Amino acid sequence: MRKAKIAILVTVIIVTCFAGFALLPGPTRPNVSIKLVGSTNNLAGVQVEVISVTNLGTAKIFTYAPCVEVRAPTEPGGIACYGNPDRWGSILGGGASGSFAIPSPDQSRVVAGHASRI
């Protein structure tokens, strides 16, 4: 009888723990601002787009691999990404911001009326 009570108590504790974790809120999306600062040329003469990322939240965020996506029906997924995804990464604390330069896409491939997404 005593072993049955202990087994039931342990089971109730385990079920309560699982239920408690299941009811916890999931991770939220980070509160960030992404702005296109402008276009310029780098030292090699390549046109680059400068973006600014600002962390508006309190938690640290990791920014990495920026690219400009352009419609490209011949590419897998229907988009082409311009930028070097292996190039960098940056951790921004709460309220911090950083500016990053990415190569511009070939202008002949940009669809008229389609804004590039970052």
**Residue 65: helix, strand or coil by DSSP?**
coil
State the pLDDT at residue 88. Answer: 66
Q: Rounding to the nearest 10 degrees, give the CA dihedral for residues 5, 8, 14, 20.
A: -100
pTM of the model: 0.54
User: Residue 83: is it exposed, middle or buried by C-beta count within 10 angstroms (0-12/13-18/19+)?
Assistant: buried
Q: 100: which residues sit within 8 A by CB, 6+ positions away?
A: 50, 51, 52, 53, 63, 66, 88, 90
- For the chain, the structural domain boundaries read 32-109
Backbone angles phi, psi at 56, to 5 degrees: -90, -5
State the pLDDT at residue 105. Answer: 66
Residue 1: other Cβ atoms inside 10 A: 4
**Residue 17: helix, strand or coil by DSSP?**
helix
State the pLDDT at residue 107. Answer: 52
Residue 39 · residue 48 · CB < 8 Å: yes
State the pLDDT at residue 98. Answer: 85
**Residue 115: helix, strand or coil by DSSP?**
coil
End-to-end CA distance of the chain: 65
Residues of the chain with pLDDT under 70: 65-68, 82-88, 105-118
